[in-house]
Structures are given as structure tokens and as C-alpha cells.
Amino acid sequence: MYKSSIDFIKQQFPNQDFIPLHAPVFSGNEKKYLIECIDSTFVSSVGKFVDEFELKLARYTGAKYAVAAVNGTAALHMAMLVAGVKRNDLVITQALSFIATCNAISYLSAEPLFVDVDMDTLGMSASKLQEYLSENTEQKSDGCYHKSSGQKISACVPMHTFGHPCKIDQIAAICEEYGIALIEDAAESIGSTYKNKHTGTYGKLGAFSFNGNKTITCGGGGAIVTNDEALAKKAKHLTTQAKIPHRWEFKHDSIGYNYRMPNINAALACAQLEQLDTFLVKKRSLANRYLEFFKSGSIDFVKEPLDSKSNYWLCAILMKNEKERDSFLSSTNDAGVMTRPIWTLMQKLEMFKHCKHDKLENSLSIESRLVNLPSSAF
């Protein structure tokens, strides 16, 4: 079953016995920069490549500041911390998300509140967000509060799923209206733009991931971007153990975190960032071939939303139902073609079953039908 789809995918990645979901491509200055980093002996959290990567990432995204971090989860945790999320606060996010989003919220002893997604973006729905806030919250002098629980809603963290931008301008306007800090989970969307503006730059802060399976990678790695100088300085300070700069003394002025990206990872990140535009062209070409192949059948290819330019981090299709999804997953993986379903919805996991949410109708539909396809930039 699904032999034509398997044959087509194999044609896109010839001469491979096993086709991974997303493999890194190291075809630029990676080895050169790594050798330079090793020869300098600065392989930890201090070195020229960390500074260079932050400058180049800020320039690429159009943000004023970038702060490199050890991974995307740490970046998101720090972004929420400096934005003011506190213990017992509610943070609005998606149930249709990788668990790192909710983990980062939990590190602050805050609680996720799940709002549904749009079918065309796979990301948080602005209309569902507006509806939920209108029906379930009240404004007080110091912010927005949930009526039934009395908890403050301190932040909203939408995710740009698989690199497809959500309607982030509408979400930003709603957050502004309700006095809620907007923090973008842009972990999957480096190189994606919405209305000609890079994802991660609509909110107070944005967080990126450079994990081994992302569009560009440095093994691990993450970053915060922001236009707020004070927040950038605070994030950089806290991610380096909150150490007060001094030539020899060890003094710290608050609880800090060992979250800085090592220089050796930043060397890889600099080389990968130099190739990002090339990777995006290749990934878009692959997505267009998938789109053309699937348009004549009963399987729907997930294409970039209106007003967006997606990086197509992971290409995705929607099957008719869960049974067909499982059959497709079985057939492709048996044939050496790695495919996967989307994540289990967060409110179904034991640690988040108690969390508040709306009906999540679109999220449930997508969860039961979506399949990710091989998406490497070869």
C-alpha cells in the first residue's frame, strides 16, 4: 500500500538505503571554523564565534539583539523568565506542540493554558485566542486574570509549527489589548517570514532552536531575539550564571543559569547560518515537488499559509483519518523511509491533564491525521 508515494520519496533522495526525516548538511566552513575554535583553545562559553553568531543572527532576523543559548528549550525558558512569568501564572500556548514548550513553562512553576490552532497554519488561532480571552478573563490593574482560577495570564507563547508562520500579527494585537507578554516559540522557523517580517520578531522576545534535526544546526544550540536592550542584557547576564564582570572576582547578583552556547557549537552555527539561504531554496524546491505529487490524490500536502514564506522545516501531509495515517506510517517505515506522526497533544500527557483548554477541535483533527515526510536539504 502507498507504493507510489514511497517510490516518489525515494526518487527525491536517491542512493540511500534509509531515508531519514531530516539530516544535517555540512557543506560549508564547518570544519574550518571548528579547527580554528580548537586551535584557539576557547571551546566553552567564551570565544569569538559566540559573539559573531549573535551579531549575524540578529542581522539575519532583523532583530536588534540576539543572545545565544545552549538549546532552544533553555532559550524559551529564559525568554519567559525575563518577560516576567512567575510561579502559578498561566501561559497561553498550543496543545499541538513539542513538549519543550510546556517543559519551559513548567521550569518557572507556571501552568500552560491550551488554545486551539488554525487548520491552515497549524499554529495558534488568533480567533480562538480572542474568543477564549473574551469569555474567560477579566482585567485588573496589574494585568489579565482567569476568572475561574484567579490566576494571572502573564504570557502567550504561540509556535510556528514546522516553520509555517501563524497569524502572529493578529495574536500580537490581542496580546497588546489584554496586556499579555507575547513570546514566540520560533524553534522550528528560522528563515520563515510573515508579511515580510521574520518570525520571532513580532513578540517581546522570540526563541529559536538549532538542534541536530533543525534547518540549521550546531548539534544543540538555541537563541533569543528581541528589540528590547534591557531584556537582551538581562538574558545574557542570567544565562552566564549572573556573574558580575570582573577580571578575577567571582561575584553574582542573582540566581543564574549555565545556559550559554559553547564557542565550539557557535563555530558550527556560524558556518550553518552562512548556508541558510541555500538550504531554504532546496527545501522549498522539495516542498513544491511534494505539493505537485500529492495534489491529484486524496492526501493533502500542508503548504505555506497566506502572507507567509515558510522554511518548510518538516514537510507534512494530512490523511483522511487515523487509520489511513497509521497505514501510511507503517508502509513507509517498513520500506526504509522515515515518516512520523505529529506529537501527542499536550493535554493528553499525564503531567498536563489538569491544564485548562478550549475544545481543541482542530488540534485533535490534525493530531489524528498528520504525517511528516523526509525533508532534508540535500
What pLDDT, in 10s, does the model give residues 330-339? 999 999 999 9
> Secondary structure of 90-131 in the HEC alphabet?
EEEEECCCCHHHHHHHHHCCCEEEEECECCCCCCECHHHHHH
CA–CA separation, 197 and 308 (whole Å): 9
CA distance 204 to 228: 7
258: nearest Cα among 70, 81, 114: 70
pLDDT computed for residue 231 by the predictor: 98
Asked if the model's pLDDT at residue 320 lies above 80, the reply is yes
Strand partners, 152: 145
What pTM did the predictor assign?
0.97
pLDDT digits (tens, 9 = 90+) for 329-373: 999 999 999 999 999 999 999 999 999 999 999 999 999 999 999
Q: What is the pLDDT of residues 34-93, one digit of tens each?
A: 999 999 999 998 899 999 999 999 999 999 999 999 999 999 999 999 999 999 999 999
- Long-range contacts for 141-144 (Cβ within 8 Å, ≥24 apart)? 143/179, 143/180, 144/178, 144/179, 144/180
The share of the chain scoring above pLDDT 70, in percent, equals: 100
pLDDT at 29 over 90: yes
Q: Are 256 and 238 in contact (CB under 8 A)?
A: yes
Residue 230's pLDDT band, with cuts at 50, 70 and 90, is very high
Domain ranges of the chain: 30-275
Three state DSSP letters for 6-69: HHHHHHHCCCCCCECCCCCCCCCCHHHHHHHHHHHCCCCCCCHHHHHHHHHHHHHHCCCEEEEE
Provide the mean pLDDT of the chain: 97
Q: Are 153 and 92 in contact (CB under 8 A)?
A: yes
165-207: pLDDT as tens digits = 999 999 999 999 999 999 999 999 999 999 999 999 999 999 9
**At 197, which helix (H) or strand (E)?**
strand 197-198
Domain 30-275 coded CATH 3.30.70.890:
no
Residue 115: closest CA among 152, 79, 166: 166
